[in-house]
């Protein structure tokens, strides 16, 4: 399959109006309701961002309503083998279009310019080069993106809305499993035979690049294993996650 191409991008005001209406209507929405809403309003205009960790259920959830949906996977060059295997399994078994998003530089060329193991010395720069810049460039071709962000991930994500306006990307951000627990996520994967990253049940409830991810102890913050020992907790893709939701009243305020 080839990537879907969004054409005729709607205005920011139109997109914000959709968000405001969804926020007004979505108090009782299930994840499947969010997926149905996504298909109704964004067919051919939306991509699912998937790290092939716990969020591998999200492409399946959306594809039930939007078969062939684009699934963006950041090929950082630093993934666990299990993560790549999950990506390959999802590509074989789910009706989705995997779009590998590549950084401008290979790991070798980045090492040549910045020195080896930039992730140990300047992880924010490394994430910028290998994740944030490439995904931002790719997302510019869509009106909306779907994520696997969940409120229980950490305190910064505790107020995540099912549908929100992403001010940084100037697009709609859809978080269908925001309210799910880790167990609900695993239950969905089992019920629907969705490939999941085996590391999830080996002490890695949150999985990023191998050099920046360690297992966590029972009861620890699920994301405590990401950039452990550093002040960094997010790669930068979800900087707008704690923005207050826009309202119908503010929809057309510039």
b/e burial code for range 87-103 (CB count within 10 A of at least 16 → b):
bebbbeebebbbbebeb
For 177, the 3-state DSSP assignment is coil
Residue partners of 225: CB distance under 8 A and separation at least 6: 203, 204, 205, 206, 213, 214, 215, 216
Name the residue nearer to ligand SF4 (CB basis): 94 or 209.
209
User: Per rule CB under 6 A, is residue 123 in the interface with ligand SF4?
Assistant: yes
Q: What residues are annotated to the active site?
A: 235
Interaction of residue 211 with ligand SF4, rule CB under 6 A = yes
Distance of alpha carbon 48 from alpha carbon 59, whole angstroms: 6
Q: How far is the CB of 79 from ligand SF4 (least distance, A)?
A: 8
Q: Does 168 bind ligand SF4 (CB under 6 A)?
A: no
127 annotated to a ligand binding site: yes
Nearer to ligand SF4, 26 or 75 (CB): 75
3-state secondary structure of 101: strand
Q: Is position 78 an interface residue for ligand SF4 (rule: CB under 6 A)? A: yes
For residue 130, state whether it binds ligand SF4 (rule: CB under 6 A): yes
Q: By CB under 6 A, is residue 160 in contact with ligand SF4?
A: no
Residues 203 and 75: beta-carbon distance below 8 Å: no
Q: How many residues does the chain have?
A: 254
> What would the x/- binding string for ligand SF4 be over residues 27 to 46, using CB under 6 A?
--------------------
Q: Is 212 annotated as a binding residue?
A: yes
Closest CA to 131 of 47, 243, 49, 69: 49
* Two tokens, residue 144: 């909306």
Residue 209 annotated in ligand binding: yes
Binding site for ligand SF4 (CB under 6 A): 76, 78, 119, 123, 126-127, 130-131, 208-209, 211-212, 235
Known binding residues for [4Fe-4S] cluster = 126-127, 209, 212
Binding site per annotation, positions: 126-127, 209, 212
């Amino acid at each position: 399959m080839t990537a879907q191409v969004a054409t005729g991008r709607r205005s920011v005001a139109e997109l914000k109006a959709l968000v405001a209406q969804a926020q007004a209507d979505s108090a009782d929405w299930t994840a499947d309701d969010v997926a149905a809403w996504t298909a109704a309003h964004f067919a051919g205009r939306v991509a699912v961002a998937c790290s092939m960790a716990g969020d591998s259920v999200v492409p399946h959830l959306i594809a039930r309503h939007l078969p062939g949906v684009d699934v963006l996977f950041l090929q950082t060059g630093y993934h666990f083998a299990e993560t790549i295997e999950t990506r390959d399994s999802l590509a074989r078994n789910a009706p989705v279009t995997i779009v590998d998003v590549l950084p401008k530089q290979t790991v070798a060329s980045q090492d040549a310019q910045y020195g080896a193991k930039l992730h140990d010395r300047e992880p924010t720069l490394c994430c910028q080069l290998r994740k944030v810049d490439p995904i931002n460039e790719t997302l510019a071709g869509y009106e909306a993106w779907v994520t696997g962000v969940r409120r229980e991930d950490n305190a910064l994500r505790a107020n995540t809305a099912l549908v929100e306006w992403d001010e940084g990307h100037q697009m709609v951000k859809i978080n269908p499993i925001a309210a799910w627990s880790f167990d609900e996520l695993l239950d969905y994967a089992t019920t629907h035979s969705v490939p999941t990253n085996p590391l999830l049940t080996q002490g890695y409830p949150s999985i990023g690049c191998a050099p920046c991810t360690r297992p966590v102890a029972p009861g620890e913050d699920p994301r405590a294993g990401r950039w452990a020992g550093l002040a960094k907790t997010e790669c930068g893709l979800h900087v707008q996650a704690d923005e207050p939701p826009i309202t119908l009243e503010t929809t057309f305020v510039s």
